[in-house]
Structure 1
Amino acid sequence: MSSLPLISSCFCCRRAEPRNRQLPPIRSVQAVLFDIDGTLADSDPLHYLAFREMLAEIGYNCGNPITKEFYSSSLSGKHNSVVGKFLFPDWDQQRRDQFLDDKEAHFRRLAAKQLEPVAGLHRLTDWIKQKGFHRAAVTNAPRASAEQMIAGVGLTEFFEHVVIGGECERAKPFPDPYLKALEHFGVSAQNAFAFEDSVAGLGAAVAAGLPVVGITTGNPGPALIAAGAAFLIKDYNDPALWRKLK
């Protein structure tokens, strides 16, 4: 995916704008921002499977497989540096990094065979292109995984920019990645909105002042509403979304 313009540093000193739970009028929208994992594709089941298998192999939790609830509440949407410290507080950083690198490689093997776009995704991306809005992917996924997922759902040419949280001073749940995307386009948060599926990601977008559509592919709706979602959709064919986009 060498054709993608990629952002390698983050603007993190700008003050976040006030929270706004309402999408801006469509006539004023200039940019639409997307998370990747769980938002472009329902990839959380594959991340869960990769974590479950690899953690069981090393005897984590006395060898008992982690639950989906544990994954959703403690791992989903979080940057790998945070995940590593949470799972392995007694390990040195090199050992944590190696485990998480291996987990990402396992995830990519699974995703190469099983990744599917969220229903209605291309209907929405076609609408965004027709409107002429800027579009960026903003993710905590490592670059290799992010690029594979974007290509896997057929959106290599769709995104104008990709912001990688790990290449920012602070990843999600801090607002820096979203602020960087807005800064790159020269767009105010009041003239943009985002799609997110995790509490950590939603919190980052809300902290950047963005209205956020929560998609319930892998996390419970009440948690997304509590994190600041403007409203919830099950996928991109959801009538609730298209009523808002009129």
Structure 2
Amino acid sequence: MPSPMHPLRAVIFDFDGVVVDSEPLHYKAFMQVLAPFGLTHDYAVYTERYIGFDDRDAFRAVFQDAGRPLSPELFERLLQEKQAAFKRLVSQDLQAFPGVHRLVRDLHREGLPLAIASGAVRDEIVLMLHTLGLKEYFPVLVTADDVAHSKPDPESYTLAVKRLRDRGDLPTTSSGPPNGCLVIEDTPTGIEAAKAAGLFVVGVAHSFSQDDLGQADQVVPAVSDLSVDLLRSFIEKARDP
């Protein structure tokens, strides 16, 4: 029998598609970089095929899907060009999803430690958090720079849990996944990663339909539908199904 869930102890946010509505900006940056190679796609293809990848795996997948070689030199150049294009776009148009500021501040006020586990690179995440005035609330950031494998591999979430434990925010009595640590995700790939790490997952239907997020433990239409009390109730229900 699985052990009962503890009360809510920490919340780990995915970033793109959960905290910020940045996927259209990532898409524009990718297309600007890929246009000279004739490898652009419409947004529907991007969301269906590439949205769950970090930059590295997205470029690899685009070139693989097109049957085109991707040398290490070109790969590194594309990564740098995409990051530069994205930073330009962020400075022009960046929006947090409705309800994000309220939820983050309410969780912080309740003393719940917060983390981010994202496939984006650290510089991009820090830039956006500063732009939105949210940097101070996330002492733990796990980014593409910190892991060898992107989602759906669970590495980013297992590392986020480890860093929360190292800070004393989660119990260290067990090396396994902690009860009461909740993840907020918006993609099937991200949900798969968090579940593989043994974590309780709430899906938000910002990028995919609620039906597409069925692997999550709970699904809501948007972050604006969440509250501290609701997240606690999800964990409580999981204690005694």
C-alpha offsets along residues 85-112 of structure 1, whole Å, 9 cap, x if unaligned?
Answer: 2112311122022112211211111111
- Equivalenced residue count is 218
Partners of 1:36 and 1:149 within 8 A in 2 = no
C-alpha offsets along residues 157-202 of structure 1, whole Å, 9 cap, x if unaligned?
Answer: 0011111233223232211111111122223432110111122222
Once residues 137 and 152 of structure 2 are traced to their aligned partners in structure 1, the CA distance between those partners, rounded to angstroms, is 25
1:33 alignment counterpart: 12
SS of residue matched to 2:89: helix
1:223 alignment counterpart: 212
1:150 alignment counterpart: 129
Once residues 100 and 231 of structure 2 are traced to their aligned partners in structure 1, the CA distance between those partners, rounded to angstroms, is 16
Give 1:236 deviation, angstroms. 2.5
Query: Would the alpha carbon gap of residues 54 and 168 (structure 1) be closer, same or farther in structure 2, given more than 3 Å must change?
Result: closer
RMSD of the TM alignment (CA)? 2.4
Give 1:72 deviation, angstroms. 0.9
Which ranges of structure 1 fall in alignment gaps of 5 or more residues? 1-17
Once residues 145 and 217 of structure 1 are traced to their aligned partners in structure 2, the CA distance between those partners, rounded to angstroms, is 20
1:13 alignment counterpart: none
Q: Does 1:69 align with 2:44?
A: yes
Partners of 1:119 and 1:236 within 8 A in 2 = yes
Partners of 2:57 and 2:150 within 8 A in 1 = no
Once residues 55 and 207 of structure 1 are traced to their aligned partners in structure 2, the CA distance between those partners, rounded to angstroms, is 32
The one-letter code matched in structure 2 to 1:138 is A
2:61 alignment counterpart: 86
Which ranges of structure 2 fall in alignment gaps of 5 or more residues? 171-176, 234-241
SS of residue matched to 2:142: strand
The one-letter code matched in structure 1 to 2:222 is D
1:166 alignment counterpart: 145
Query: Would the alpha carbon gap of residues 224 and 166 (structure 1) be closer, same or farther in structure 2, given more than 3 Å must change?
Result: farther
Once residues 244 and 76 of structure 1 are traced to their aligned partners in structure 2, the CA distance between those partners, rounded to angstroms, is 26
SS of residue matched to 2:133: coil
Query: Would the alpha carbon gap of residues 240 and 81 (structure 1) be closer, same or farther in structure 2, given more than 3 Å must change?
Result: same
Give 1:115 deviation, angstroms. 0.7
Q: Does 1:137 align with 2:84?
A: no
Give 1:204 deviation, angstroms. 1.0
1:206 alignment counterpart: 195
Query: TM-score by structure 1 length?
Result: 0.80
Partners of 1:233 and 1:240 within 8 A in 2 = no
Query: Would the alpha carbon gap of residues 110 and 242 (structure 1) be closer, same or farther in structure 2, given more than 3 Å must change?
Result: farther
Give 1:242 deviation, angstroms. 5.6
Once residues 134 and 27 of structure 2 are traced to their aligned partners in structure 1, the CA distance between those partners, rounded to angstroms, is 24
2:27 alignment counterpart: 48
Give 1:241 deviation, angstroms. 8.1
1:99 alignment counterpart: 78
Query: TM-score by structure 2 length?
Result: 0.81
Q: Which runs of 4+ in 1 moved over 6 A?
A: none
Give 1:121 deviation, angstroms. 0.7
Identity %: 29
Partners of 1:34 and 1:195 within 8 A in 2 = yes
Structure number with greater CO (CA < 8 Å, separation at least 6) is: 1
The one-letter code matched in structure 2 to 1:174 is D
